Structure 1
Amino acid sequence: MASLKVDIVGIDALGDAEWTAWRAMLDANPALASPYFRPEFARVAGRVSPSSAVAVFSRGGVTVGFFPHQRRGGAMQPLAAPMNDYHGVIAFPGMVPSLEEAAEALGATRLNLTAWVGPTALGEDRRTVQVEFGGDGYDGWYAERRATFGKFFKDKERARRSMEAELGSLRVERDLRDPAMLDWLIDLKRDQYRRTGRHDIFACGWTTDLLHALLREDGEGFGASMAALWAGDRLTAVEYSLHAGDQYHFWFPGYEPSLARCSPGILLSMDTMRLAAERGYRTFDFGFEGEHYKKYFCNGFKLVREAVVLRPGLGATMSQAAVGALNLAGGDRGDRLRTSVRRRWAAIEACETTPTARMKGAMQAAGAALAKVRATANRVPA
């Protein structure tokens, strides 16, 4: 097999022939069904995310794949990280270069990946979870889930009745693209990040711009939109999603914290699936597993790989300075904390576009991590 070659070009430099090849690869490769692999996503994100480009891979002069990405200092990341939930080389089945081969061709000091789709022995598995509808659609899914997890879904039915009794009848709308509603959702997420000590991924500005820009995209078979739940006249929950083909990817949910007891976010997800199923959507992707409700909803999963590929040498060592600061805050508390630290740094590095901003974010995250460790250590057992 001919060696893998790469050309790095601006995303807007791709012509009709390249975009046609890109779409043919998606059509032929079911592993690339997610909206994150679509040309429309790459074009919009390429205009908004700083230092973005696409790697065009070839063998023997023939294009075999594309990898949209961004650079932050010496690090290379998937395009739109940390908001990109699936990434990999867009290629025909059987012609996808391995991560090891792609990383060598790219030659980056460091390649950060959280959800790589494609062949590799590097890194570790992570699971994303989905709701897969069969021929009987939403009703069949709900009947099976309610029979299997009766207590959970009966609780949600009671929560729905309780919210209606307190605030008025519930109403759900989807396919919304109101910029003011998106700003409401982003404010909710930023408040959540402050309360939980997580890095505010919207403080850098370009991530907010990306969500707004995607709302304005009107591609055939691809789009971004919101669904919203009102109780009476009160807006209680909003969820921002991407969709392409029959795939619907829940991306950014938010709900009024004072109504948490009524689970407005969960009720909104359920009603969104019901309404979207009427439009032909069959797979509803909830991203990484973890939140407790997902185990009750989801009847499918996918395996992706999380990996950090380092090029040997001084540059790789120097690039870990901020990670070291976060590790010091965590102390010697095992693999789970180290993994959390690594993911926290990956988000900071992807959002922030200058060394000063990245180090500031790392110091703030280190302080939050240290405070959490101290609070846990000082907690008095009940």
Structure 2
Amino acid sequence: MRFDVVHPAELTAGEIGRWRALQRLTPTLHTPFLSPEFTRTVARFRPRTRVSVIHERDDIVGFFPFEHAPLGRGLPVAPGLSDAQGLVHADDVAWDARAMVRACGLSVWEFDHLVADQRVFDEHVTTAAASPVIDLRDGFDSWYRTIRARSSRVRDLPRRWRRLEREHGPVRFVLEATDDTAAGALDTVLEWKSAQYQRTGRSDRFAQPWIRGLVHQLLDEHAGGFRGCLSLLYAGDELVAGHFGLRDHGVVPTWFPAYAPSMGRYSPGLLLHLAMAHAAAADGVQLIDMGRGAKTYKEELKSGDTTVAEGRVARLVPTAALAWARTAPVRSARRAVDRNPRLYDVADRVLRARGRWRPGTANGVSA
């Protein structure tokens, strides 16, 4: 087994083709976060991004994308943003995870959204969490009947849609905005999302220039089946809600949904997801992955759950121990909150209260 570590820009056309071929063979890898185009785009903004091209004799049998942080600490590509992580590899090949980490020049590789069926990492998983999904493989109508039967809020959405039309004009939805106004609409959606982060006491991701730059770059990415996907909901000429995510292999992970605070009474977040599911199903999307995290709207919309895992592959070296000491307490506290609904509710209320008292906070509403 040989591990050749390269910058993503150095991947050849043949290697990218092999990566995508391996990805197609395994359903759990059908996510744009594990597509080569995502890693290559992230590398423009995160220069420590690397890929290990894994060879067995003369064959390429896998690709391991990661970020090589200081002290030999290995992180997922786009740390803190990627909702799917892991190896893209052939099913009939196995190797030692620690040997791979060592061959990549790392002391440790940490993950928090490891996709299912990554057997090479089984012994290194510390906890697993549900990631709610909208399954559209049987079509929109089948999914909608299921969620409508169990949620009074979903049953009320047609009335809210009609009220929105009556008070603001005809409602229309764009699944993938590509015209000259798309960049401006994206900025509006990101401003709404920033306001939401601030109002709820969360860290504002878009205060980091690399994240904002990455999102705008991804909007322009159209390589093979991979592309950035900006979905917009309008009432008349007014933008009501939007979502920016990615699309590949028939999967759309929800990434950054947001809506105009003034439209809160219409449940625009739910209307956006409903319109997105309807249009996406008609356009060949099979799965909308809403991501890890316990939120009411996800429970109302989901068909079921996939599983993502958290853990670390650590070598017995001092730098791995140092990395553990710096990150373990925070991760442990977050896991405890995520597992306990009462703790989650208390933590959410504390963060929202902090957001209300934060100087200069704009009003935003969670999608």
Give the shorter-chain TM-score range.
Answer: 0.7 to 0.9
C-alpha distance in structure 1 between counterparts of 2:160 and 2:23, whole Å: 41
Q: Percent identity?
A: 29
C-alpha distance in structure 1 between counterparts of 2:87 and 2:79, whole Å: 15
TM-fit CA distance, 1:105? 3.7
Change (3 A) 1:325 1:92: closer
TM-fit CA distance, 1:202? 2.1
C-alpha distance in structure 2 between counterparts of 1:217 and 1:249, whole Å: 16
Which of 270, 276, 299 is 1:272 aligned to? 276
C-alpha distance in structure 2 between counterparts of 1:326 and 1:95, whole Å: 35
Deviations 1:128-155 (A, max 9, x none): 12111244x11222123212x1413223
1:141 is matched with 143
- The yes-or-no answer on 1:50 pairing with 2:44 is no
1:80 is matched with 78
1:41 is matched with 38
Which of 100, 125, 128 is 1:125 aligned to? 128
Q: Which amino acid aligns with 1:234?
A: E
SS at match of 1:26: helix
Q: TM-score, normalised by structure 2?
A: 0.82
Change (3 A) 1:96 1:180: farther
Higher relative contact order (CA 8 A, sep 6+): 2
TM-fit CA distance, 1:308? 3.1
1:364 is matched with none
1:336 is matched with 336
C-alpha distance in structure 1 between counterparts of 2:60 and 2:228, whole Å: 29
1:345 is matched with none
Q: Which amino acid aligns with 2:37?
A: E
C-alpha distance in structure 1 between counterparts of 2:234 and 2:183, whole Å: 17
Range with bigger deviation, 246-255 or 101-110: 101-110
Give yes or no for contact 1:111–1:309 (8 Å, CA) kept in 2.
Answer: yes
C-alpha distance in structure 1 between counterparts of 2:297 and 2:96, whole Å: 34
Which of 185, 188, 213 is 2:189 aligned to? 185
2:343 is matched with none
Change (3 A) 1:258 1:37: same
Deviations 1:104-134 (A, max 9, x none): 4434233221111212122211221211124
1:164-183 aligned within 5 A: 164-177=165-178, 178-183=182-187
Give yes or no for contact 2:6–2:52 (8 Å, CA) kept in 1.
Answer: yes
1:103 is matched with 101
Give yes or no for contact 1:66–1:89 (8 Å, CA) kept in 2.
Answer: yes
Change (3 A) 1:98 1:89: farther
Change (3 A) 1:221 1:320: closer
SS at match of 1:172: strand
TM-fit CA distance, 1:204? 2.2
Deviations 1:237-269 (A, max 9, x none): 110121113222221101112322321011011
Change (3 A) 1:97 1:192: farther
Deviations 1:305-324 (A, max 9, x none): 11133443432344456548
1:348-367 aligned within 5 A: none
SS at match of 2:40: helix
Give yes or no for contact 1:65–1:96 (8 Å, CA) kept in 2.
Answer: no
C-alpha distance in structure 2 between counterparts of 1:36 and 1:69, whole Å: 12
Give yes or no for contact 1:70–1:79 (8 Å, CA) kept in 2.
Answer: yes
TM-fit CA distance, 1:336? 1.4
Q: Which amino acid aligns with 1:23?
A: R
C-alpha distance in structure 1 between counterparts of 2:295 and 2:132, whole Å: 11
C-alpha distance in structure 2 between counterparts of 1:12 and 1:272, whole Å: 33
1:20 is matched with 17
Deviations 1:266-309 (A, max 9, x none): 10111111112221112111111411111221113212211133
C-alpha distance in structure 1 between counterparts of 2:23 and 2:334, whole Å: 40
Q: Which amino acid aligns with 1:302?
A: T
Give yes or no for contact 1:90–1:96 (8 Å, CA) kept in 2.
Answer: no
Give yes or no for contact 2:68–2:106 (8 Å, CA) kept in 1.
Answer: no
Q: Which amino acid aligns with 2:140?
A: Y
* Unaligned ranges ≥5, structure 1: 341-367, 376-382
1:363 is matched with none
SS at match of 1:280: coil
1:216 is matched with 220
C-alpha distance in structure 2 between counterparts of 1:208 and 1:189, whole Å: 12
1:350 is matched with none
1:142-157 aligned within 5 A: 142-147=144-149, 149-157=150-158
2:363 is matched with none
TM-fit CA distance, 1:157? 2.6
SS at match of 1:66: strand
SS at match of 2:44: helix
1:380 is matched with none
Q: TM-score, normalised by structure 1?
A: 0.79
Deviations 1:217-236 (A, max 9, x none): 12122211211112233211
Q: Which amino acid aligns with 1:127?
A: A
1:10 is matched with 7
2:210 is matched with 206
Change (3 A) 1:244 1:165: same
C-alpha distance in structure 1 between counterparts of 2:219 and 2:54, whole Å: 30
1:93 is matched with 91
Would you say how many aligned residue pairs link Structure 1 and Structure 2?
336
- The yes-or-no answer on 1:243 pairing with 2:244 is no
